[in-house]
Chain A
Amino acid sequence: GENVEQHPSTLSVQEGDSAVIKCTYSDSASNYFPWYKQELGKRPQLIIDIRSNVGEKKDQRIAVTLNKTAKHFSLHITETQPEDSAVYFCAATFNDYKLSFGAGTTVTVRA
């Protein structure tokens, strides 16, 4: 199956600074890469996704980049705010619609 590695496991940033989370995947057939945000005690919620035919996608303060050749993709959060504090998971598809998730990054935004 797919193997997704995510770094760093924890990230502390000053409010207003940028945060970057990186993931690598193993299956060259993967074609869909979502990012989920999970607040404490809540369900994971999709915040942005990218498909393999696109190199970059942006939604307000959040952007995702994909390098298919290197098999890695990254989440960028600009102008971080306290409400960005959460656990973020990357994922990649394998065998049609199944997802393999990274281990998660705990982001803390310091006021």
Chain B
Amino acid sequence: NAGVTQTPKFQVLKTGQSMTLQCAQDMNHNSMYWYRQDPGMGLRLIYYSASEGTTDKGEVPNGYNVSRLNKREFSLRLESAAPSQTSVYFCASSETTQQFFGPGTRLTVL
């Protein structure tokens, strides 16, 4: 039982490049989330998916897209990366209120 997994662990991009962050959970949870964490700002919700087939914007969705591929997987895509998207990205999942977090992806955009 791996819980929530994320790939890659680290990534460096140049401005304008695109990439997809992958997240998977094996706890059969309905809800999944993407957060970004910046120093002094806590965790901010980018997008979430309440169930398979649905997605919705969070607090900071601009510059991102998501796909809920199936119940297990929820991916986050940066179409044209910007230096302001340098951050640590966490995926999480939940069945009710308690959220379980993945190990994070540290992204640097040059």
Query: A residues touching B (Cβ–Cβ < 8 Å)?
Result: 1, 6, 9, 32, 34, 42-46, 49, 89, 93, 96-104
Q: Which residues of A sit under 8 angstroms from B90, Cβ to Cβ?
A: 43-44
Q: Is the interface of B mostly helix, strand, loop or mixed?
A: loop
77-99 of chain B: CB within 8 A of chain A: 90, 94, 96-99
Q: How far is the CA of A53 from the CA of B48 in the complex (A)?
A: 27
Given contacts A43-B90, A43-B103, A44-B90, contact A101 B98 (CB under 8 A): no
Q: Which residues of A sit under 8 angstroms from B100, Cβ to Cβ?
A: 46
**B44 A99 Cβ-Cβ under 8 A:** no
Whole-angstrom distance between the Cβ of A8 and the nearest chain B Cβ: 13
Q: Is B31 among interface residues, defined by CB-CB distance under 8 A?
A: yes
**A97 B97 Cβ-Cβ under 8 A:** yes
**B42 A102 Cβ-Cβ under 8 A:** yes
Given contacts A93-B97, A97-B97, contact A43 B44 (CB under 8 A): no
Whole-angstrom distance between the Cβ of A78 and the nearest chain B Cβ: 24
Whole-angstrom distance between the Cβ of A98 and the nearest chain B Cβ: 6
Q: How far is the CA of A23 from the CA of B86 in the complex (A)?
A: 27
Other-chain residue from A32, A43, A93, A96 in contact with B102 (beta carbon distance below 8 A): A43
Given contacts A1-B59, A44-B90, A97-B31, contact A89 B43 (CB under 8 A): yes
Whole-angstrom distance between the Cβ of A46 and the nearest chain B Cβ: 6
